Amino acid sequence: MVIEYITICFFSLLGSGLTFFSGFGLGTILVPVFAIFFPLEIAISLTAIVHFLNNLFKLFLVGRNASRRVVIRFGIPAILFAFLGAYLLTVISGVQPLFSYSFLNKTADVTWVKLIIGLLLAFFALVDLIPSLSKINFSQKYIPLGGVLSGFFGGLSGNQGALRSAFLIRANLSKEQFIATGVIIAVLIDLSRLTIYAADLSKQYDKLDYLLLTLAVLSAFLGAYAGNKLLKKVTIGFLQTFVAIMLLVFSMLLMTGIL
């Protein structure tokens, strides 16, 4: 019991602190940690709650810095196309993976969707990491296209945050605007996801450990608070490099089927 609480709270704090800057990854970190102690469906529900409440807390911390224009032009297409991507997922859910293999007693499936998203993320990461390309910014007219791609592939794979950050970090925003804009869009997407999860959550309410959930949420709040304090010492160049490294790692995990 004690180890369970310490482990989950530690990763909630650490994950929230790290993903405060990148704008993605908290769910990726927390689902497997919760799954160590709970059935997968419970782990996903607990993670969704922590993720949503933590985004609301970040909204309270930094939301005033968001670019409303980018939120509208990026967020609306993202939400609409997320539903389209999710619908397509139900259509192609029976498609067999390209190949599978065993990794740490887990079956890793490599699919076309993961390969495509992984290649997109790797491309954006390399743009930031290669000096001759790192000064390139997207024209504002491409922001809706970023929302379309982020929403569609996010709905199709569940990895919307990484694509969102990949576009927003190139959108000529300040570091405060980048983080705050991503947070508002993430909250809107979380709300749309939770409307779908609500039925399952209502069936599981008696199986949830509410003390653990509360402590995990508070730990995530602490991580976000610490990240916000560090933001003043961070440059936009550091932020771009950090996001690029996270994107590169994430892309490799996707393309190899580990995620």
pLDDT of residue 135 exceeding 80: no
> pLDDT (tens digit, 9 = 90+) per residue, 79-101?
888 888 877 776 776 678 888 88
Amino acid at 188: L
Partners of 187 in the β-ladder: none
**Contact 187/181 with Cβ under 8 angstroms?**
no
DSSP 95: P
Instruction: Band the pLDDT of 189: cuts 50, 70, 90.
Output: confident
Hey, where are the domains in the chain? 2-255
Q: Return the structure tokens found at 207.
A: 């199986």
Return d(Cα 117, Cα 254) in angstroms, integer.
8
- Report CA-CA distances (Å) from 234 to 27, 58, 230, 238, 239: 24, 17, 7, 6, 7
**Contact 212/50 with Cβ under 8 angstroms?**
no
pLDDT of residue 7 exceeding 90: yes
> pLDDT (tens digit, 9 = 90+) per residue, 216-239?
999 999 999 999 999 988 888 888
Q: What is the mean pLDDT of the chain?
A: 85
pLDDT of residue 197 exceeding 70: no
Partners of 103 in the β-ladder: 106
Return d(Cα 226, Cα 221) in angstroms, integer.
9
Q: Using CA of residue 197, residue 199, residue 205, residue 207, what is the dihedral sign?
A: negative
Q: Return the structure tokens found at 72.
A: 């509208």
Amino acid at 208: L
Name residue, tokens 């939301």. Answer: 63
**Contact 110/99 with Cβ under 8 angstroms?**
yes
Instruction: Band the pLDDT of 137: cuts 50, 70, 90.
Output: low
Q: How many CB atoms lie within 10 A of CB 179?
A: 27
Amino acid at 201: L
- Predicted confidence at residue 15, as pLDDT, reads 93
**Contact 161/153 with Cβ under 8 angstroms?**
no
pLDDT of residue 196 exceeding 70: no
- Report CA-CA distances (Å) from 138 to 125, 167, 173, 210, 240: 14, 8, 10, 44, 14
CB neighbour class for 154 (10 Å; exposed up to 12, middle 13-18, buried from 19):
buried
